[in-house]
């Protein structure tokens, strides 16, 4: 196991140790094959976005420790940022796959009390039309996911535009004392504490034999524990880097494996596509 994980008890502590130990090397690289977008974030840049988003949640939306945040977002670097911002502020993240929501298969936390709702532009109208989902939200935030950080193309009444607001917040976040045992993630009807997530990340690092030399290519939703582990926490705990794909174009795979020096593949682009489990390249 990488020393990066150390004795960290929460995901936010994993990030702090990564930034302290290796701030300039890439942590997250993002590809959208539909738009041709490629974004690369070092640990320091990723941490700045996390801090801005956490400040936005706490100071802008009055989120308090324990507040639930439902994320109807696709695989994206901003989804990873929102997850870590929630954990930094002691909030409970509940990622929902937009594709599952569109098919009526998502079951958000509508009956579990008020929450903050964040949704991608592409599903925002459908989300707002869902009386159960939008009806329980105290705040609704729309994400354009624009390559250059542009605002929403059309911001409906009552919706806060993330891109327009987040840049005004500071890139340092004074984290509250978040207990490792506090709830942090709710997926597939199961809630995990920060300690659970760190423990699962360490287990994944050992199982997949990851270290700081690895580059993981991931094509998985964040709406499952495996997606969260492969797409963010296991790379963070091991010192590795992650490449998140969206709208995967199979024709681009071979070149991407070479260009990005990929060592491990997880999700629909890998040999273990049916299970999604990571596969180490020979």
- What pLDDT was estimated at residue 103? 59
Report pLDDT digits (tens) over 153-165: 999 999 999 999 9
Lowest mean pLDDT among 11-20, 132-141, 246-255: 132-141
Report pLDDT digits (tens) over 193-245: 999 999 999 999 999 999 999 999 999 999 999 999 999 999 999 999 999 99
Domain count, the chain: 1
The answer to whether position 204 is within a domain reads yes
The answer to whether position 4 is within a domain reads no
The answer to whether position 5 is within a domain reads no
Report pLDDT digits (tens) over 34-62: 999 999 999 999 999 999 999 999 999 99
Q: For residue 189, give Cα distances in angstroms to 85, 269, 270, 274.
A: 21, 27, 27, 22
Q: What angle do CA 105, 99, 268 make, to 5 degrees?
A: 110
For residue 78, pLDDT beyond 50: yes
Residue 265 sits at φ, ψ, to 5 deg, of -120, 135
For residue 183, pLDDT beyond 50: yes
- What pLDDT was estimated at residue 145? 96
How far, in Å, CA of 27 to CA of 44, rounded?
Answer: 9
How far, in Å, CA of 111 to CA of 231, rounded?
Answer: 28
The answer to whether position 6 is within a domain reads no
Q: Quickly state the pLDDT bin for 2 (edges 50, 70, 90).
A: very low
The answer to whether position 114 is within a domain reads yes
- What pLDDT was estimated at residue 3? 38
Q: What is the CATH number of the domain that holds 246?
A: 3.40.50.12780
Which range of residues forms the domain containing residue 193? 11-280
């Amino acid at each position: 196991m990488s020393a990066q994980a150390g004795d960290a008890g929460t995901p936010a502590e994993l990030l702090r140790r990564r930034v302290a130990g290796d701030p300039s090397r890439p942590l997250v690289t993002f590809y959208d094959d539909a738009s041709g977008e490629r974004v690369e974030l070092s640990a320091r840049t990723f941490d700045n976005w996390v801090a801005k988003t956490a400040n936005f949640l706490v100071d802008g939306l009055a989120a308090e420790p324990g507040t639930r945040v439902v994320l109807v977002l696709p695989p994206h670097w901003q989804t990873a940022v929102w997850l870590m911002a929630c954990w930094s502020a002691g909030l409970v993240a509940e990622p929902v796959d937009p594709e599952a929501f569109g098919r009526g298969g998502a079951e958000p936390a509508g009956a579990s009390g008020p929450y903050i709702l964040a949704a991608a532009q592409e599903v925002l109208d459908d989300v707002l039309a869902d009386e159960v989902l939008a009806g329980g939200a105290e705040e609704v935030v729309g994400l354009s996911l624009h390559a250059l950080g542009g605002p929403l193309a059309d911001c409906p009444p009552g919706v806060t535009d993330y891109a327009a607001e987040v840049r005004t917040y500071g890139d340092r976040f004074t984290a509250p004392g978040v207990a490792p045992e506090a709830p942090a993630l709710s997926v597939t009807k199961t809630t995990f504490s920060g300690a659970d997530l760190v423990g699962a990340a360490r287990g994944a690092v050992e199982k997949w034999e990851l270290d700081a030399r690895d580059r993981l290519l991931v094509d998985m939703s964040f709406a499952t524990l495996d997606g969260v582990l492969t797409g963010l926490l296991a790379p963070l705990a091991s010192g590795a880097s992650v490449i998140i794909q969206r709208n995967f174009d199979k024709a681009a795979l071979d070149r991407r494996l070479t260009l990005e020096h990929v060592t491990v593949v997880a999700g629909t682009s890998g040999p273990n596509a049916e299970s999604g489990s990571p596969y180490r390249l020979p």
